[in-house]
Amino acid sequence: MTQPTEDLHRTELGESGTRIVFLHGLFGQGRNWTTLGKALADQHRVLLLDLPHHGRSPRSDRFDYLEMAEQVAGALGEEPATVVGHSMGGKVAMVLALRRPDLVERLVVADMSPVAYPTARDFTVYTAAMQGLDLDALERREDADAAFAEAVPDPTIRGFLLQNLRRDGDRWYWQLNLDVLARDLAEIGSWPADRLADVSPYDGPVLWIAGERSDYVRDDYEPAMERWFPRHRKVTVKGAGHWVHSERPEVFLEVLRRFLGD
């Protein structure tokens, strides 16, 4: 069942079992987790959320991890859940666990650490390409794909970005808060340590799933992981990069099932 809400847009899968909530990364949508969500829906109630600024969820004039985590908390209500977050969604999930541990039964972070990263050049290129696309001149989606080819040569990444390009009659538009996300890339790469200074470490079980070919989860980030999430363990997926759950979905699902005790 998919339904818009006054808060975050959600898709719900499964009718019984414990609750699992999936949070997507930058430029993503809740539906990116559909395949994994359906695979778990036989034993769990799965909730796929469009995070703020993305998909059909609300947007504001600034990017703020604490505000986003609070909106996710509002979508969860009072029932605790396993929260799975990738990349930007991983940071939202971590902030949620630190500020509202009553809502997070266990935490899974996919290829992201509780540290500040320098703004990645790739993401600057992606936002520039999206902002530079002449939407009024588009006739077909294939035209957008061709226009992106030079700036974004990887067809998989192009397809991922272009999932946000929507059409309403003859009008094309971006179904995400593109200008704010482009402007606030430095904030997206940050970690709000100073605003979490009075928060206790999260004492629930935490699983990190890292991509072998990614540098978002490194050994020198271990002190930060230990500082905020002392009960964590890490699994590195061979052959996977940053999008570990989509590059190696079978492995990701198996690791997740073991963590859930399925």
Q: Do 16 and 92 share a domain, yes or no?
A: yes
10 shares its domain with 65: yes
**Given 7, 143, 145, 179, the catalytic residue:** 179
pLDDT at 5: 39
Neighbouring CB atoms inside 10 A of 137's CB total 10
| Residue 235's CATH number | 3.40.50.1820
Quick: pLDDT tens for 122-156.
899 999 999 999 999 999 999 999 999 999 999 98
Catalytic residue, chosen from 24, 50, 53, 87, is: 87
110 and 27 belong to one structural domain: yes
| Helix pair angle (155-162, 121-132), 10° resolution | 60
Whether pTM > 0.85 for this model: the answer is yes
Residues 35 and 108 in one domain: yes
Catalytic site includes residue 134: no
134/21 same-domain check: no
Rounded Cα gap, residues 39 and 41, in angstroms: 6
Contact between residue 112 and residue 217 where contact means Cβ atoms under 8 Å apart = yes
Write down which residue in 129, 157, 183 finishes a domain.
183
Residue 248 structure tokens: 């190696």
C-alpha 52/C-alpha 65 separation (Å) is 10
- Based on the domain organization, do 171 and 203 belong to the same domain? no
**What confidence score (pLDDT) does residue 7 get?**
86
- State both tokens at 7: 């808060």
Beta-carbon contacts of residue 170 (< 8 Å; ≥ 6 apart): none
Residues in a beta bridge with 3: 10
Q: What is the pLDDT of residue 262?
A: 63
Domain membership of residue 203 as a residue range: 2-117+190-260
Name the H helices within 45-87. 65-76
**pLDDT tens readout for residues 4-22:** 335 899 999 999 999 999 9
Integer angstrom CA distances of residue 104 from 38, 205, 228, 250, 256: 21, 10, 14, 25, 16
User: Active-site residue 24, yes or no?
Assistant: no
Closest among 228, 230, 214 to 94, alpha carbons compared: 228
Residue among 24, 44, 242, 245 flagged as catalytic: 242
Identify whether residues 235 and 211 lie together within a single domain: yes
Total count of residues recorded for the chain: 262
Q: Tens of pLDDT along 231-247?
A: 999 999 999 999 999 99
Q: Phi first, then psi: what are they for 171, rounded to 5°?
A: -105, 125
Which residue among 183, 204, 229 closes a domain?
183
Same domain, 91 and 25: yes
pLDDT at 93: 98
- Indicate if 196 and 73 belong to the same structural domain: yes
Same structural domain for residues 176 and 93?
no
- pLDDT at position 1: 39
Q: Which of 145, 164, 183 is the last residue of a domain?
A: 183
Q: What is the pLDDT of residue 3?
A: 40
Do 156 and 84 lie in a common domain?
Answer: no
The sheet with strand 232-237 has its strands ordered as 2-3, 10-13, 44-49, 18-23, 81-86, 104-110, 206-211, 232-237
Give the number of domains in the chain.
Answer: 2
Residues of the chain with pLDDT under 70: 1-6, 262
Compute the CA torsion angle 128, 137, 31, 104 (nearest 10 deg). Answer: 40
Q: Do 107 and 168 have their domain in common?
A: no
Task: Based on the residue annotation, tell me whether 111 is a catalytic residue of this protein.
Answer: no
Calculate what percentage of the chain has a pLDDT beyond 90: 92
Alpha carbon separation from 175 to 17, 114, 123, 178, 204 (Å, rounded) = 32, 28, 17, 8, 35
Please give the pLDDT value at position 122: 82
Q: Which residue has the tokens 């605003």?
A: 195
